[in-house]
Chains A and B, each alone.
Chain A
Amino acid sequence: MASPPDRPRRAHRALALLVAGSIGLLAACGSDAGSDAGGTTQAAAPTGDFRDEVQGLQRDDPIEVGDVVVPEVAADGSTTPFALKAEPGDLLFVAFGYTNCPDVCPTTLTDIRKAKALLDADESARVAVAFGTVDPERDTADVMSAYLGSFVEGGHALRTEDPAELKAAEDALGITSQVVKDPDGTVEVAHSAKSFVIDDQGRVVDEWAFGSGPELMASDLRLLLEG
């Protein structure tokens, strides 16, 4: 788990685009079959695409976020302090967003859900998923917990009403968000679309650009789990 010596930073942006291209190809004509009865989609090959190098961004000097604590909320509104740190020997996936986000956030959460499905069950069990809201006013505890629950079981819904606490978490990860209410009542939200993998020491060991896709994520997770 030590920082990789001179591991080349891979072209994760290029790969993200490549993955986006592949999705376009794979989706070809799939819908004409008329049913998705099996519950699986055509876009994700069940076999994965496992590489021998991590494809996300790895820093020579990993960001440390283990001291960052954000409340985890349950559907009933109760909260538990949640540190951005994986359980011993495990990994923690973290992304921030908002539930009224129809495009970016569900793409990322679907990617990690599918990535976990590409891993063996024992590997997947070692990858926890946390999703924090940047829009706590609309994303109440019950909303957050139902939303995350529709992607993954046992996910950690993170929500703080304290802007300073949210900002501290975002600053630690190097991300930003902004919620702007227009006079006409519409709410505009901007937020970083990156996602992070954190180890049991609270070190960010991998960072994924938006659109990295389940195959890349699964491949990285397997390598990181191997340590």
Chain B
Amino acid sequence: MLNPRTTVRAGAAAVAVGALLLAGCGSDSDGAAKDTSEKTTTTAAAEEIQISDVWARKSPMATTAGAAYMKITSPVDDALVGASVSSDIAGTVEIHETVMADEGDMGDDMSTETTMADDMSTETTMADDMGDDMSTETTMADDMGDDMGDGAMTMQPVDSIELPAGEEVALEPGGYHIMLLDLVAPLEVGDTFDIVLTFENAGEVTVTAEVRDA
């Protein structure tokens, strides 16, 4: 029988290892844009914000909404405060967070570990809990995004995504995403497009997103 805590730690470790592997992939082409900030030349490589694994999901037929994801590690405390794409790609771009009412912001934060351990102890009563949660429905309109307890999720725009120094922050399904609204054309697998990211400290950084069937 698997020990959930160990498993989760293993998962976290895997992500950490992934982050190490990822460092330096894919985001180096954006040097030009970020040189606006005064970087010391000595340890430039180590000091640059690392952005990797930038992708957008193939947009399904009949929708004009899309989402882009990436992993960001900043050497200093920073925040992602804006994103834009060419108007050939999408009419509006927003930074969004998908909030899982059950678990707060899931997936991008290893601090959920403690919460999860707690969850395990209540696991046996989950089926009953789910039934009871129906009673919260009447107040849902007021509490949208609050704890609905039935696995409900919603997206909301956020002003910024905090990037603590040295910590990999993932924009990934079910967590943060760059929301693309009013897509001009469907995003097709293999397409690429640029996203200009604005950071509080690092300034503007351009990354290239690859469209994946993922």
Please give the residue numbers on chain A whose beta carbons come within 8 Å of chain B beta carbons, in ascending order.
Answer: 8-9, 11, 13-15, 17-18, 20-32, 35-37, 39-41, 43-44, 57, 59-61, 99-104, 106-107, 109-110, 142-144, 146-147, 149-151, 171, 174-178, 180, 188-194, 209-211
Contact = CB atoms under 8 A, between A and B. Distances in A.
Interface stretch (B30-38, B42-50, B133-141): B133-141
Given A29-B25, A142-B62, A209-B151, A178 B140 contact: yes
B123 interface: yes
Contacts of B120: 11, 14
Given A147-B61, A180-B144, A18 B7 contact: yes
21 contacts: A9-B126, A11-B123, A24-B170, A27-B18, A28-B21, A29-B21, A36-B213, A41-B214, A60-B127, A100-B64, A102-B57, A102-B59, A103-B177, A110-B57, A142-B62, A150-B60, A175-B151, A176-B152, A178-B141, A189-B154, A190-B148
B8 A35 contact: no
Contacts of A190: 101, 140, 144-145, 148, 152-154
| Contact residues of B: prevailing secondary structure | mixed
A210 B107 CA distance: 11
B158 interface: no
A176 B177 contact: no
A188 B130 CA distance: 24
A151 B22 CA distance: 29
A157 to B, nearest CB: 11
A57 B127 contact: yes
Interface residues of B, number: 78
B126 A175 contact: no
3 shortest interchain CB distances as A-B pairs: A21-B11, A190-B154, A25-B18
B207 to A, nearest CB: 11
Interface string B109-137: 00010001001100110110011011001
A95 to B, nearest CB: 11
Contacts of A20: 11, 106-107, 172-174
A94 to B, nearest CB: 14
B106 to A, nearest CB: 7
Contacts of B123: 9, 11
Contact of A41 (B61, B67, B102, B212): B212
B21 A147 contact: no
B15 A21 contact: yes
B95 interface: no
Contacts of A25: 14-15, 17-18, 21
A186 B178 CA distance: 17
B18 A28 contact: yes
B61 A150 contact: yes
B100 interface: yes
B178 to A, nearest CB: 10
Contacts of A22: 11, 14
A167 B189 CA distance: 36
Contacts of A180: 141, 144
Interface string B191-214: 000000000000000000010111
A175 B130 CA distance: 9
Contacts of B145: 190
